[in-house]
Structure formats: C-alpha cells, structure tokens
Structure 1
Amino acid sequence: MPEIVKREERPYVALRGTVAMDGIAAFADRMGEVIGWLAAHEIAPNDAPFFKYDVVDMEAGLVMEIGFPVDDLHHGEGEIVTGVLPAGRYASVTHHGHPDGLLGATRDLLAWADEQGLEWDAQGDKWAARLEVYKSDPREVPDMNDWETELLFKLKD
C-alpha cells in the first residue's frame, strides 16, 4: 500500500542521459561507469542505487540519471553529474519482484495519488524527483524476481 514519507535532501553522483523507452536496460548496464567514477575519486555511496527520471516523455524519450547517494556534494565531469535529491514529502511504495513489474507499480502509484488528490512536484513531463531505489544487491539476491524496489515520487509542497 502506498504511503507518504518525508525525506531529507541527499547529495548524489549519477550518470545522466537521454534514453528511449526501449533503451532503459542498456542505460542501466552503464551503472559500472558511476561505480568506477566514485572509486576513482574515493567517494563511497551511502545508500542503494537509484534511477531518477527527470523528464518522462513516452514518445520523445526519457532524461534520466542512474546514481548513488553520497555524503557530500561533489563536482561531476562529462556525463557524470552531481546534485541534491530534494527534501520534502514523497509518495512511496515498495515493489517486490522483477523490474519488469515496475511499469505497473508506477501506474498504480500514480492512480493512488490521483485518488488521494495529491499533486506531484512536476511541471508537465519534468519531475523534481521521481525515483526507483534498488534495495536489493544483485550479488546477494541474484534472482531478479526476488528484488525489492522502492518508488519515491516527490509531492508538491
């Protein structure tokens, strides 16, 4: 069941790109680039990796980031960007299962918020923070059907 949670701001480091709907998996495969950049700069992630959807346009494609929360704000380079996940209220739900089920979980979360009369912190297709947080470590949970993913979509203050 979805719920509303309050979150503090969190600095992060990520890889940013424009991705077609059918290119999300290939973009996700580039997470190693973020891990390598963090290691080269001796920066340790302090929480689970996430996908951040900055622009969601089903026809033109997505502007998204894959990254990790870190302790302090840093400066990126090239496709590696840094930023701060904003503080505030988020609609949250946890999906148990294969990431293929996230489309349905997202649809259900959007519908729930609509039923509750909640407003997103978004301007058209551009979101302040629309996250998928991958709680399961693939080294510990190799079967994607057993993964746990939290959806966190920022609500308007």
Structure 2
Amino acid sequence: MATQPRIVERPEQPFVGVRGKVTWTTFGQLADRLPEIVGWLAERGVAPADGPFFKYDVIDPSDQERDFEVVAGVPVDERVRLDGTGGTDLFAGTLPGGRYVALTHVGHPDELAGVARTALKWAHAKGLELDMTQSAAGEVWGCRLESYKTDPRREPDLHKWETELAFRLRD
C-alpha cells in the first residue's frame, strides 16, 4: 500500500556509503554492506540520522539482467571525514537538496518497482520534469532514492516495512 505521490522539498543530506555495479540478482551483495557502514559509524560515535537508503545513479528498468549503478548509504547529521580505516570503497557524500516527487510504501520491498512506476507516471501526468537523462547505459538520475524507515531488527516481517521513494525534479 502506497501513499499518493506528492512534491516535497528535501534539504541536502550528508551520508556515508558504498557504490557498486549490480544486477537485480546480485543486489544483495551491496545491500549486505549496510551493516558494515552502520558498524563503521558506531565505532566512531556517529549515529545514523535516519534509516539506510539506496540511491540509483544509473538504472535500466526495462532490462532485469543489465548492470546498474547504485549507492548503499546511511544518512548522518554532519559530513563525516573518512580517516582511511573504513576500507577503500567507503566514501562520504551528500544527497542533493531540492524538490522531489515522493511517496511512502508499506509492504514488501519486491513491490517497490511497481510503486516507482506509479510515482513516475504521476509525475509525467503532472508535466513535472525529473532530474534524469537517458544514456546508452540507461537512465542517469540526479537523485533517485529508496529510503528504508523500518528497522528489520524490530520488524522482521517484510510485508510491514515502510519505504520512502523519492525522485528529484530538475531545477
């Protein structure tokens, strides 16, 4: 079950994350890095500002076997300086602020592709210009987020998970 799409203003958001090229079949390898990031932050006394997210940088929704580029990250209140002990592939970044089409979904993560299509159709029907360009590699996004609001340690039933989808609008 998803809420109606809406336009929201999001501030810039610092984060620590890891970037990878995956397919839908190998996506779990990147998702499995989130506890590592949370642990790295905890070792340094940095609390997450919110639940983890996936930021889809390049994706081809029409090709389930094609590699896509995604960031798995954890938002923090202030930019974190990496000290070289977090591994060579962890990095500090900032999610861009701006206007986004957003909606919240309560249900299994496998349902998110359909929810995303609904949000994108809504934006198209409203004449909104998304911060996305087409390339030979697929859709290149300024910011396309999937943010997990439910702590799986407290709610193991994936059908009850709350996830926010947000698609940045072109300025």
Which range, TM-score by smaller chain?
over 0.9
**CA shift for structure 1 position 74:** 2.4
The equivalent residue for 1:147 is: 161
**Would you say the 8 A contact 1:53–1:127 is kept in 2?**
yes
* Aligned residue-pair number: 157
**CA shift for structure 1 position 102:** 0.4
CA RMSD between the two structures: 1.4
- Following TM superposition, where does structure 1 have runs of at least 4 consecutive aligned residues deviating by more than 3 angstroms? none
**Would you say the 8 A contact 1:73–1:83 is kept in 2?**
yes
| SS state at 2:88 partner | coil
**CA shift for structure 1 position 52:** 0.7
**Letter aligned with residue 40 of structure 2:** W
**Letter aligned with residue 88 of structure 1:** G
**CA shift for structure 1 position 21:** 2.2
Matches within 5 A, 1:11-26: 11-26=14-29
The equivalent residue for 2:89 is: 79
| SS state at 1:21 partner | coil
The alignment's TM-score, normalised by the length of structure 2, stands at 0.86
The alignment's TM-score, normalised by the length of structure 1, stands at 0.93
**CA shift for structure 1 position 70:** 0.8
The equivalent residue for 1:35 is: 38
The equivalent residue for 2:127 is: 117
**Would you say the 8 A contact 1:15–1:33 is kept in 2?**
no
- Structure 1, 96-105 or 27-36: larger mean CA deviation: 27-36
The equivalent residue for 1:9 is: 12
Structure whose residues are more often helix by fraction: 1
Unmatched 5+ stretches in structure 1: none
**Letter aligned with residue 55 of structure 1:** V
| Sequence identity (%) | 48
